Structure 1
Amino acid sequence: MRDRVRGAVVAVSAVTALATGLAALTGCSSGGSGGSGGSGGGPPAALLALPADLDAEAVAGGKQPAFEPSEVHLAVGRTLGMDVRVAPLPHGWRLVEGGDTALLRRDADSKQSTCAPKTAGCGHTVRQSWTATAAGSTTLTWRYVDLATCTEPQNPASCRMLAGKEVRVTVG
């Protein structure tokens, strides 16, 4: 009986993790009554996460289809957060188009997780955030790039793109 209960708990945990991951990939956003969702430090009104490195490499290798764009709808004053995994790899996600600055104000990045010092191969998660400032539509674009191919180290657009992800933001 104990094994059945343990198996059920593992199955429920796996389903919960899968649902959370799917919500992040599809761009579901909350209409938000939980927290301010503004730039005052509360939780974002919409929170997404870029696909995992392994998923991006599968797209780059043609093993799965390209990432579909996500759609986010925000009210003026509400915040969008994008969690980006930063790992010491030869490939990584880089923001190449930050959207229309008349509609979205880029807020400071914040670390969501960290690694212990001198931990080999460990990465961390950074939350990039934008606050909606005016009505309209714009697109944020990230590229999963080969960092060894960059002709300009500070310009991700100069690197070979392996995969891409767009988030279409409508404010109003």
Structure 2
Amino acid sequence: MRGGTRAGTTSGTRGRTVRTAVVVAVTALAAGLVTLTGCSSDGPGGSGGRPPAALLALPADLDAEAVAGGKQPAFEPSDVHLAVGRTVGMDVRVAPLPHGWRLVDGGDTALLRRDADSKQTTCPPNTAGCGHTVRQSWTATAAGSTTLTWRYVDLATCKEAQNPASCRTLASKEVRVTVG
């Protein structure tokens, strides 16, 4: 090619301008995506009916049974980082079993506000053995750190019906929440 340029490339000031414009456009697009996801909502049961900023699910019953039986290591804690006003949600499977996940520590109420639970799935009426999923949600209200704790408990051993801490623990799961 004559003149030292090839098709598909630019040179000189015009080339730098085009590259700068592309970088600015990509940066603006990325900022827009962060804004959109940052403004994404807090889900049913959360504030405003928007999806949670952080969404987790408790391990399956079979996994919890494996931990309880020593066939699998304990569940590692999860870490969640939220801005004030954002929501964390935990999907909990509720099934008619002698064992189940129960919230035993809802964290520091000065940092997290518990929102209403919402059903994510349901069972048809009169369906034997069918479970459903409930989303438990918290909205961050102040900066700091706290821990949410669930235990997989043997419901037949509960000394107090409404107190999961009074039941024999088979496994546990912690979610460490940092707000700020």
Indicate whether the TM-score tops 0.5: yes
Give the alignment's TM-score, normalised by structure 1: 0.81
What are the residue-to-residue correspondences of 1:1-172 with 2, within 5 Å? Answer: 32-33=37-38, 35-37=40-42, 39-172=47-180
Q: Which amino acid aligns with 1:76?
A: V
The higher radius of gyration belongs to 2
Q: Which amino acid aligns with 1:150?
A: C
Q: Which amino acid aligns with 2:41?
A: S
Q: Which amino acid aligns with 1:71?
A: D
* Cα deviation code 1:115-158 (max 9, x no counterpart): 00010100000000000000000000000000000000000000
Alpha-carbon distance in 1 for matches of 2:105, 2:40 = 28
DSSP 3-state at the match of 2:165: helix
Which blocks of at least 5 consecutive residues in structure 2 are unaligned?
Answer: 1-33
Alpha-carbon distance in 2 for matches of 1:79, 1:151 = 33
- Correspondence for 2:25: none
Q: How far 1:34 moved relative to its partner? A: 6.3
Q: How far 1:36 moved relative to its partner? A: 2.5
Alpha-carbon distance in 1 for matches of 2:141, 2:53 = 14
Q: Which amino acid aligns with 1:132?
A: A
Aligned CA RMSD, in angstroms, stands at 1.5
* Cα deviation code 1:28-75 (max 9, x no counterpart): xx9933623361010000000000000000000000000000000000
Which blocks of at least 5 consecutive residues in structure 1 are unaligned?
Answer: 1-29
DSSP 3-state at the match of 1:40: helix
DSSP 3-state at the match of 1:157: helix
Give the alignment's TM-score, normalised by structure 2: 0.77
- Tell me the matched-pair count: 143
